[in-house]
């Protein structure tokens, strides 16, 4: 028996996620025991920051966001941001990506994920984020570096699915003809 057709919104999400090209620019893990301070900077990509231990404040475009374990913030390109820890000990993961559709359209301009969210423990997104951070425990750094681009893609795709499932994903209005074709 064939699966029932997806609602237009889900069909559109599946279509764009099947076509997107995610480029992972860098993945890092910061483990600090004596406080953390990130000077103000502006990046040209999307930066996912996820807190695994401790508390950190991420200030994006002069708006402060306190992150606790399980929290994830998406910092868009072009916005000044800086950070500091509220606890001496802290572990955060960071992934920098771009996500382009054929023709160069930025996926984040069509589907807009939440700026900040607490990721449900044991969700697929949480598991990918945890595995990304744990990858740095591998004794083989060349293998870790080869693996990181895959995590950027997995995390990006799952972020959109997660936000859609939790009602956090906003869709830029699309042309009715396009919506009808996707349907």
Tens digit of each residue's pLDDT (9 = 90 or more) over 31-86: 999 999 999 999 999 999 999 999 999 999 999 999 999 999 999 999 999 999 99
Residue 97 φ then ψ, to 5°: -140, 160
Q: Is 61 left (phi over 0), alpha (psi -120 to 50) or beta?
A: left
Tens digit of each residue's pLDDT (9 = 90 or more) over 103-132: 999 999 989 999 999 999 999 999 999 999
Q: What is the pTM of this model?
A: 0.88
Question: In the prediction, which pLDDT does 183 show?
Answer: 45
Residues in Cβ contact with 137 at an 8 Å cutoff, skipping those fewer than 6 apart: none
Torsion of CA 49, 52, 57, 63, to 10 degrees: 40
Asked whether 96 and 46 are in contact (CB, 8 A), the reply is yes
Cα 100 to Cα 163: distance, rounded to the nearest angstrom: 19
């Amino acid at each position: 028996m064939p699966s029932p057709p997806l609602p237009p919104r889900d069909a559109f999400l599946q279509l764009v996620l099947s076509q997107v090209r995610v480029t992972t620019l860098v993945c890092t893990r910061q483990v600090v025991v004596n406080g953390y301070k990130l000077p103000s900077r502006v990046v040209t990509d999307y930066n996912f920051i996820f807190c695994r231990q401790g508390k950190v404040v991420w200030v994006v475009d002069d708006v402060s966001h306190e992150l606790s374990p399980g929290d994830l913030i998406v910092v868009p390109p072009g916005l000044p941001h800086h950070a500091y820890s509220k606890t001496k000990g802290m572990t955060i993961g960071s992934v920098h990506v771009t996500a382009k559709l054929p023709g160069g359209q930025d996926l984040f301009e069509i589907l807009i994920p939440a700026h900040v969210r607490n990721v449900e423990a044991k969700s697929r997104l949480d598991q990918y984020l945890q595995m990304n951070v744990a990858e740095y425990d591998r004794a083989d750094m060349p293998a870790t570096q080869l693996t990181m681009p895959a995590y950027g893609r997995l995390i990006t795709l799952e972020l959109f699915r997660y936000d859609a499932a939790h009602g956090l994903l906003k869709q830029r209005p699309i042309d009715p003809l396009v919506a009808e074709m996707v349907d």
